[in-house]
C-alpha cells in the first residue's frame, strides 16, 4: 500500500487499510446475522446468501483482473528492480 501513496500520505493510506479491515469484519457480522436465523428454511436461506456473495465476488474479481495491469504500472516495479542491481 505504501508504494502507491505519496510519501507524505503513507500514514493516511495505512489507516485506510486498517479501516477497510474493520469494515470487512463488520460485513462478516452482517453475513452471520443473515444466515443464522434458525428457521426451518435455514438451509435455503444460507445457500441464497452465499450464492449472492459468490456471484458478487466473481464480478469483483473480474474487475480487479481488468484493473491490475494499470495498478502495476503505477507501482513502477521496473524502476525498483533496476535500483536493486549493483
Which residues form the domain of 72? 2-84
Query: What pLDDT sits at residue 10?
Result: 86
Please answer whether residues 4 and 13 qualify as being in contact, where contact means their C-beta atoms are separated by less than 8 angstroms.
yes
Structural domain total, the chain = 1
Task: For the full predicted model, state whether its pTM sits above 0.85.
Answer: no
Cα dihedral: 56, 62, 65, 70 (round 10): -90
Query: What pLDDT sits at residue 26?
Result: 97
Query: What pLDDT sits at residue 40?
Result: 60
Low-confidence ranges of the chain (pLDDT < 70): 1-2, 37-41, 77-86
Cα dihedral: 55, 61, 62, 63 (round 10): 110
Query: What pLDDT sits at residue 33?
Result: 86
Amino acid at each position: 500500500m505504501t508504494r502507491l501513496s505519496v510519501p507524505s500520505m503513507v500514514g493516511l493510506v495505512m489507516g485506510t487499510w486498517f479501516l477497510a479491515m474493520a469494515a470487512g469484519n463488520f460485513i462478516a457480522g452482517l453475513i452471520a446475522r443473515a444466515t443464522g436465523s434458525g428457521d426451518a428454511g435455514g438451509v435455503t436461506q444460507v445457500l441464497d446468501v452465499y450464492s449472492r456473495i459468490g456471484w458478487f465476488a466473481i464480478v469483483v474479481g473480474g474487475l480487479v483482473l481488468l484493473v491490475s495491469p494499470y495498478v502495476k504500472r503505477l507501482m513502477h516495479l521496473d524502476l525498483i528492480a533496476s535500483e536493486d542491481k549493483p
